[in-house]
Structure 1
């Protein structure tokens, strides 16, 4: 069975599929996504279930990298209270809307946690069969997996060695990266991001003038053709014109009534005359 038939102007292999992006811009995006993965509010806003997780970012020992069985991985996720996020992935499996069902993308589901490891000693084989879980090496982080769909704040499980290696790969606020040439971490715009607390602090309140309370007059547009008083204010002679129009309308109505009465009288006279002639004949 052929679904959809052929398409007009089919896509060619020489289409411009990719766009060039500066390396510095890619690195900026990756470090921004990593920073967002350490903010609990952003992780919850993305839909992850982290109420029972002890801390964020969630760092575990390197013994996790030695797991070789999925059974061990499931037990670890249950002990760490992350299995609720995996159950969310199980329950969210749905049919895809559109033609993607016939293009090897039949189902779609939510994403679960990502696991970032330092060295693969079997951890990939242990976790790869659990739905929603994606694994990455800290040396080769993929932005599409750290922030799927362009939404930062994915739940990431770090191994200890991978978490320590972040400072070497991307540097710190005071030291450049040792592995990426001429790359320095972007400086934070605010040291304290709680803006509402800052603006209400005593130091800022004393230095800032009190707010001005000015009453703003709102002008209402009124149509003088509908508002008689406004029309009289604009044109005093409008009263005379309106009265003349009303009187003229009444006189016309009286004339129409008089004409109608005369027509009825003539019609009645003709009918009476015709009936008399018929009777005499």
Structure 2
């Protein structure tokens, strides 16, 4: 029997919708972290130092016989710079060791089905309350998750104040207060348009176009089409458990996007969901169970004596051995 999810709407009568099979996907944090790292690398922009940096000097080595290093030295006289070392990476103003170049392998290839599977894992983790809370989201004001909202509730949301009011009505007051806290980063990222560290808030997933501009200026809130869901949105930092607000049409479309355990997805050719083989993940309890211990031999804790072959050592153990022989 499929689980029913209540839809939040303006009307007094509540409606329900079936929980898509994608929410039964087992979550593997190691696989999520691996795919997130590879996908995030694809956004990098190539950078390199100037190939001639540290080499624009008139310098020449003095050769041997002067009791000084054979590094190239600045020509000329009359200044303190004359005679100083140049070019080498250990010299002042010299080039760097192993300079960077734009021919580096910047991007990483990740199998398509692996990316799809990790996206399904991120969706599944968003419906587990302990995982969502462990990620730092404040969901004490919510009745249950996943949070499914009727599309009619966003018809009147045109401005930012309407968007904030909508989130407060859902019970996300503590979540909004959390995202207001802004910290200044350490390091040189402050100079490179990464000055502030903003905490992640809820992710609003929709199918049909809604007023996205109303939520654009709400701090920590992101919006994404259900067709464009990826591990970067569902698992920021490679950590699953993003708080997701589903629009009704997007929630229903998950069945067509990811299919079920028996049939392939309609919109993703060749993709089939996986199901956990083990009913429990407590490995220690499984190992110490009677069924497993019945097939395991008892460990031998008695130390086996070492075989002594040296004649002198044998005589020490048995002095009368020489008399017998």
Q: When the two structures are superposed, what TM-score results if normalisation uses the length of structure 1?
A: 0.66
The question of 1:90 aligning with 2:180 is answered yes
C-alpha separation between the residues in 2 aligned to 1:72 and 1:38?
26
State the alpha-carbon separation in 2 of the partners of residues 43 and 101 from structure 1.
30
State whether structure 2 residue 239 is matched by structure 1 residue 148. no
Structure number with the higher helix fraction is 1
Larger relative contact order (CA 8 Å, sep ≥ 6): 2
Match of 2:109 among 20, 37, 44: 20
User: What displacement does 1:176 show?
Assistant: 1.2
The correspondence of residues 126-205 of structure 1 with structure 2, limited to 5 A, is: 126-190=214-278, 192-193=279-280, 195=282
Q: CA deviation at 1:28?
A: 1.1
Partner of 1:41: 130
1:105-133 Cα offsets, whole Å, 9 max, x none, are: 111121111110111221x1111110000
Q: CA deviation at 1:209?
A: 4.5
Counting matched residue pairs gives: 209
Three-state SS of the structure 2 residue aligned to 1:53 is: coil
**Superposed displacement of residue 154, structure 1:** 0.6
- Distance in 2 separating the partners of 1:158 and 1:53: 14
SS of 2:180 mapped into structure 1: helix
Partner of 2:147: 58
**Structure 2 residues without counterparts, runs of 5 or longer:** 1-52, 54-94, 304-315, 317-325
Inter-CA distance 98–206: structure 2 relative to 1 (3 Å threshold): closer
Larger radius of gyration: 1
Instruction: Decide which of 81, 96, 103 is 2:171's aligned counterpart.
Output: 81
Deviation at 1:166, TM superposition (A): 0.4
Segment of structure 1 superposing worse, 8-17 or 111-120 = 8-17
TM norm structure 2: 0.57
Are the counterparts in 2 of residues 65 and 120 from structure 1 also a CA contact under 8 Å? no
Q: Within 5 A, what are the aligned runs for 1:187-226?
A: 187-190=275-278, 192-193=279-280, 195=282, 209=294
